[in-house]
Each structure stands twice: as structure tokens, then as C-alpha cells.
Amino acid sequence: MDVTEFFSLHEQGEIMEAIAEAEKNTSGEIRVHLENYCFGNALKRATKVFKKLGMTNTAQHNGVLFYLAVKSKKLAIVGDSGIHEHVKQQYWDELKSSMLDMFAENHYKEGLTSGILATGQKLKEYFPYQSDDVNELPDEISFGKH
């Protein structure tokens, strides 16, 4: 299976809608990246993808990446320094645990969208929407090696 087929086109649309909804009330940026395999530490790989996707370039360093290696069954969440200093590692760990519980029941889209929407609420707390905000990063899901 090609990683682009892990979520149906309809599910991909729902995930992108969740990203747009989550970003509606915040200047924060959320991305989703899927790969088939991660042959090491998922957080290290996700951090590398985070940088390659240009997520360190947001003005307030408030980008968040949801990284899934679908065939390796690995998930990592990376928050840039601006949001991470507010929520700390415990927040990401709890969010990841909640998402993995849903994944364990084969509710991948639901787990991912719930994580995205929860992150949007957290970003809103610390980085509320400003009238001059621009969408700094695309909402589309990225796939494959970066």
C-alpha cells in the first residue's frame, strides 16, 4: 500500500478540515506528515521532518507536527519552541497516549483529528488569532521521505 492511500481521499479531506478548524482561532500552525516506515526513534525522525517542512520558520515558533509512520506503527508529535515552552513535554505525552488509544481500536482518522483539534485549543490559549494573521504553512498532508 502506498502511504498516500492510508487515509481515503474523504478522510484526508476531513483531516485537512480539522487542521483549518484548529487554526481558525490561533496564529499557530499544524501539519500532518505520513511515511510508511521509521527505522529508529520516531521523535528524532519527526524533528528532522519538522525542519525539512520549514516548520521552524513560523514567526512565533508555534508550529506543531503530527508524524505517523504507518507501517512501523509509530507516532510522534513535535511542537516548536514557542508552544513547547508553554505546554511542556507532559502535554505532548498525554495527547500522544490518547491518540494511540484510538489508533489501537483502528480509529486512525478520529485519533488524528481529535489530536489536531485539541492542539488547536491549546495553541489558541497561548497564541490567539490576530487580525493580521496569515496561514504560514499549508494545511495539506505531506507524504513520504523528507
- Do residues 34 and 65 make contact, with C-beta atoms less than 8 angstroms apart? no
- Cα separation values, 26 from 35, 57, 91, Å: 27, 16, 18
Of 54, 12, 28, 17, give the one whose Cα is nearest residue 120: 28
Q: What is the pLDDT along the chain (146 residues), one digit of tens a residue?
A: 789 999 999 999 999 999 999 999 899 999 999 999 999 999 999 999 999 999 999 989 999 999 999 999 999 999 999 998 999 889 999 999 999 999 999 999 999 999 999 999 999 999 998 777 777 887 899 998 76
Other beta carbons within 10 angstroms of residue 102's beta carbon come to 17
Of 30, 19, 28, 49, give the one whose Cα is nearest residue 109: 19
Four-residue CA torsion sign, 38, 44, 47, 53: negative
DSSP reduced 3-state for 143: strand
Phi and psi, residue 27, nearest 5°: -90, -5
Q: How deeply is 105 buried, as exposed, middle or buried, from its count of CB atoms within 10 A (0-12, 13-18, 19+)?
A: exposed
